[in-house]
């Protein structure tokens, strides 16, 4: 009887496993972490992208890119806030690649925001930015998701963020 039970247990544990697979109890902590998608090998990509523009005199027809601005994505998860920063290029474009520990945040659109951290002093929009005349935070929204594990987010109001340089005071 005992022999039959041992053989049945052997077949149940071994059923469905390929020859090179191990039962979960035999994996190390690092191997389990990698299997779960949080190891060194990147299994998914989550990026937040957009463009930061300065509008001259409340007229978005005359928008200029803001190169060298600092932007950040801040995400809340389990009572902890994580921040990932990036900079705009010469065209005002930014692309922030989120680390893999943030990929599994449920409802990312409700738990992450994009903030403008700093605008270069040489920008026309530096003064209005530092004076707090602009909302410096924006929610994010999913723009695309592909089957190969790539998700692309942008600001909740579209791909562009507009700061406005107001008329100089007379």
65 & 30 share domain: no
Q: How confident is the model at residue 12 (pLDDT cuts 50, 70, 90)?
A: very low
pLDDT, residue 74, reads 93
68-112: per-residue pLDDT in tens? 999 999 998 877 899 999 999 999 999 999 998 888 888 888 999
Q: How confident is the model at residue 164 (pLDDT cuts 50, 70, 90)?
A: confident
Check whether 44 has a pLDDT greater than 60.
yes
Q: Which domain, by its residues, includes 154?
A: 45-165
50 & 30 share domain: no
CA atoms within 13 A on the CB side of 60: 6
- Identify whether 40 is part of a domain: no
Inter-CA distances, 156 with 4, 43, 84, 135, Å: 62, 26, 18, 13
pLDDT, residue 166, reads 61
pLDDT, residue 97, reads 94
- pTM of this structure: 0.68
Burial 95-106 (b: 16+ CB within 10 A, else e): ebebebebbebe
Q: What angle do CA 60, 65, 66 make, to 5 degrees?
A: 120
Number of domains in the chain: 2
pLDDT, residue 40, reads 56
pLDDT, residue 9, reads 43
74 & 110 share domain: yes
13 & 75 share domain: no
Write the CATH number for 64: 2.60.40
96 & 133 share domain: yes
29 & 53 share domain: no
102 & 152 share domain: yes
pLDDT, residue 51, reads 93
93 & 75 share domain: yes
- Identify whether 6 is part of a domain: yes
pLDDT, residue 86, reads 96
- Identify whether 170 is part of a domain: no
- Give the mean pLDDT of 35-42: 57
106-153: per-residue pLDDT in tens? 888 899 999 998 899 888 887 666 545 555 678 888 888 887 788 898
């Amino acid at each position: 009887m005992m022999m039959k039970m041992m053989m049945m247990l052997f077949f149940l544990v071994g059923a469905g496993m390929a020859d090179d697979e191990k039962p979960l109890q035999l994996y190390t902590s690092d191997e389990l972490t990698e299997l779960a998608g949080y190891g060194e090998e990147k299994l998914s990509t989550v990026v937040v992208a957009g463009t930061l523009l300065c509008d001259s005199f409340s007229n978005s027809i005359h928008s200029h890119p803001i190169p060298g601005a600092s932007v950040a994505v801040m995400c809340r998860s389990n009572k902890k806030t994580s921040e990932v920063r990036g900079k705009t290029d010469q065209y005002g474009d930014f692309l922030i690649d989120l680390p893999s520990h943030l990929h599994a945040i449920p409802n990312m659109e409700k738990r992450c925001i994009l903030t403008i951290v700093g605008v270069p002093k040489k920008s026309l929009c530096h003064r209005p930015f530092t004076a707090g005349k602009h909302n410096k935070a924006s929610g994010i929204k999913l723009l695309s998701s592909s089957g190969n594990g790539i998700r692309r987010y942008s600001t909740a109001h579209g791909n562009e963020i507009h700061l406005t340089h107001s008329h100089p005071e007379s």
